Amino acid sequence: VANLLIKSFRFAQQSSYDVVALQLANDMADRMRANLVQTNAGAFDNFDTKLGIPQISDANNLYKTACAGASSVCQPIAAAFDTAEWARRVTGGLPGGRAVICRDTNTWTTTGYAWACNETGGANAPLVIKIGWISRFNDSTDTGTADGLAADGSATVQIVVVVSPGVAS
């Protein structure tokens, strides 16, 4: 009974991580669609939380200071703010959380989803958001090793959301 309760707790916790990650991915996709000029210009491409979370000055923190310039001034500030704020939510809301935004023509491989991006096709390649975290499930042998770990001990991709199919308009 105790083992059943523990596994039930893990399923519930993993389910909550699934929901949080999906909400985060959809939130960023909406932010990118709302700032289409910067999205098309590549402002969000090749973003990886593993490389660190961007720092935003108080002047560019849209929670503290409203952008009062032309859209050509405010759109890049909004893009930088959105990625920094979103990255903090990913790394703070998911255990070992990692997120990548990139153009990728080969998200799925025979071994599963991959963090690496294949940008063949440039702007015509699909724009995707990948999110992963360290799972609460044990491995299949039930040795106690956490599932969802890459060979280097980092999280594996668990959710992929396509922001745009990659067809340039």
pLDDT range class, residue 4, cuts 50, 70, 90: confident
pTM given for the model: 0.83
Question: For residues 35 and 42, is the Cβ–Cβ distance under 8 A?
Answer: no
Q: Dihedral angle at the C-alpha atoms of 11, 15, 17, 22, nearest 10 degrees?
A: 160
Give yes or no for residue 146 having a pLDDT over 60: no
Determine what percent of the chain is predicted with pLDDT higher than 90: 44
The two three-digit tokens of residue 11, written as one number? 């399923």
Average pLDDT over all residues of the chain: 85
The per-residue pLDDT for 164 is 85
The per-residue pLDDT for 6 is 84
pLDDT range class, residue 147, cuts 50, 70, 90: low
Min mean pLDDT across 51-60, 120-129, 140-149 is at 140-149
The two three-digit tokens of residue 95, written as one number? 């255990």
